[in-house]
């Protein structure tokens, strides 16, 4: 009887560990998002926040080839740091994007 309980306990603990491993792995992937964190808009005035929102600025571009680092409006900062933008105020992630993207001329 005790042996059956022990096997059941072992099975339940293994299942719980599997769930924890999956949750832990997904948490790690979020921590490894590309580039610096450039989402602090606490210093922006309401109109600037409005432009940022209206142009749907996002920290990570969803379209390949349309990231801020490839946009003619982007002004890079230090390596691995946020840059700035001629159109959207506040910190700008080189991997980000918005509706005003304009490819750099080559
Ligand atoms: Fe990024 Fe938009 Fe500024 Fe271009 S205009 S650098 S896509 S925020």
Distance 98 CA to ligand 1 centre (A): 5
pLDDT, residue 37, reads: 95
What are 72's two structure tokens? 């003619």
pLDDT at residue 9 greater than cutoff 60: no
Q: Are 73 and 87 in contact (CB under 8 A)?
A: yes
pLDDT, residue 8, reads: 52
Q: Are 82 and 91 in contact (CB under 8 A)?
A: yes
Q: Are 76 and 82 in contact (CB under 8 A)?
A: no
Distance 26 CA to ligand 1 centre (A): 29
- pLDDT, tens digit, 9 for 90 and up, residues 13-40: 444 434 333 333 333 334 345 679 999 9
pTM of the model: 0.70
- pLDDT, tens digit, 9 for 90 and up, residues 78-104: 999 999 999 999 999 999 999 999 999
Handedness of CA 42, 97, 68, 81 (dihedral sign): positive
Q: Are 101 and 66 in contact (CB under 8 A)?
A: yes
């Amino acid at each position: 009887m005790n042996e059956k309980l022990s096997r059941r306990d072992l099975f339940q603990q293994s299942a719980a560990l599997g769930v924890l491993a999956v949750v832990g792995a997904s948490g790690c992937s979020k921590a490894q998002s590309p580039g610096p964190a450039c989402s602090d808009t606490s210093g922006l005035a309401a109109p600037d926040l409005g432009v940022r929102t209206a142009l749907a600025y996002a920290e990570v571009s969803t379209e390949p080839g349309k990231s801020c680092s490839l946009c003619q409006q982007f002004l890079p900062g230090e390596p691995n740091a946020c840059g700035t933008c001629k159109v959207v105020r506040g910190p700008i992630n080189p991997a980000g994007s918005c509706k005003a993207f304009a490819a750099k001329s080559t």
